[in-house]
Amino acid sequence: MRILQLSKETKSNILEDLLKRSPNSYSAYEERVAAIIDTVREKGDEAIFSYTRQFDGADITTDNIVVTKEEIEEAYATVDPTLLDVIRKALVNIREYHEKQRQYSWFDSKDNGIILGQKVTPLKRVGVYVPGGKAVYPSSVLMNVLPAKVAGVDEIIMTTPPGKDGKICASTLVAATEAGVDRIYKVGGAQAIAALAFGTESVPKVDKIVGPGNIYVALAKKAVFGHVSIDSIAGPSEILVLADESANPRFVAADLLSQAEHDEMASAILVTTSQTLAEQVSVEVDKFVAQLSRKEIIQKSLDNYGYILVADSEEEAIETANDIASEHLEIVMKDPFTVMTKIRNAGAIFLGTYSSEPLGDYFAGPNHVLPTNGTAKFFSALSVDDFIKKSSIISYSREALEPIYKDIVQFAECEQLTAHANSIRVRFED
């Protein structure tokens, strides 16, 4: 793994390289995605069935697009009971964490007749997209569905591409059922996003679409935003490890590779104040790559976006972490909690030697749907907040309005909005 001395030029070049991985850089695909969306919008079920045959090789019709109770029962019979037990344990942790994020309506009244407040309302219907094919992520099902359930969403539907046999991965079905999905549809890709955004004869229109997917799914979500809400446009996986000489180089190397194995565009970066640790981690990385099953993907990821950066000071290392704003940030230093207080930008922060990134992916409870490509500077992890909306409540009595109505009239006339001013003034005509 390459080792570089951290400098302004080094950091600038790395940031430029990382941004090239953003879905916003894949405009060449946008025309094709737009054509799929337009066709689904025009032809509905006919289009999604045709695209499913074309892209997934499955013969899906009105009769079999919805996963049946029998298919779910078959999935439970197929899944390893120990895996089911792990899914249920993880579900408890995820639900309990998100229950602490709940928000409630509130009202504040005063003696003169002013009532102000905020009404919190769950979304009515949400669509969860789950990748299929070689990608099997029951953990992602839990992470996307449970915050919606905790928020109180009325109906949660899921779409996922079927295999050529028309079936859905058993672990995906089990995770969805355990999490509380109401209906599961056998459709994937950009055509699934279009179906959720606009509705077809079989697939109902939703208020919001969440969940990860390939570049076609990401660009489709971007294209339908405004017709529906979306969670985010996710880019490739990222990890940044902040470490000093106290870190275990073997642990750090293993954690870097946990993200590099996702795909060739994934980013794995170590920022350290120790040249010795940098060299040790590089050696350990090479050892692991030689023995891991996804070594070809890992090596390409490291060649493209893997770096070990040696900083002159802890302050410089922290500044670099904030500039990169990584999806996952591990702090493996003598005093990780103090360093954490200086971090402004990160999707999820893991503190200490035994808080490895996969702990967050699968089990701890916080959401693993996180901002990527530097968007942690202004976006947050998926949460209960993503599945509610807030309405302002305003109620004034005449007694409360009279002392201040002329102030409002003056403000409106300043903006030359005379009808605004009139709507207040008319209430106090002689």
Residue 38 is encoded by which pair of tokens? 């337009």
Can you tell me whether residue 169 is helix, strand or coil? coil
Residue type, 314: E
Beta bridge partners of 184: 158
Whether 9 is catalytic is no
Which are the contacts of 131, defined by CB distance < 8 A and separation ≥ 6?
137, 140, 160, 161, 188, 212, 213, 214, 217
Closest CA to 126 of 230, 11, 227, 206: 206
DSSP letters of 237-276? -EEEEEE-TTS-HHHHHHHHHHHHTS-TT-EEEEEES-HH
> From the candidates 98, 262, 328, 368, which is the catalytic residue?
328
d(CA 198, CA 218): 17
Under DSSP, the state recorded for 61 is -
DSSP letters of 182-236? SEEEE--HHHHHHHHHH--SSSPP-SEEE----HHHHHHHHHHBTTBEES----S
> From the candidates 284, 314, 316, 327, which is the catalytic residue?
327
The helix (H) or strand (E) run that includes residue 329 is strand 328-332
Contact 280, 251 (CB under 8 A): no
Whether 284 is catalytic is no
Residue 322 is encoded by which pair of tokens? 């904030």
Active-site amino acid positions: 327-328
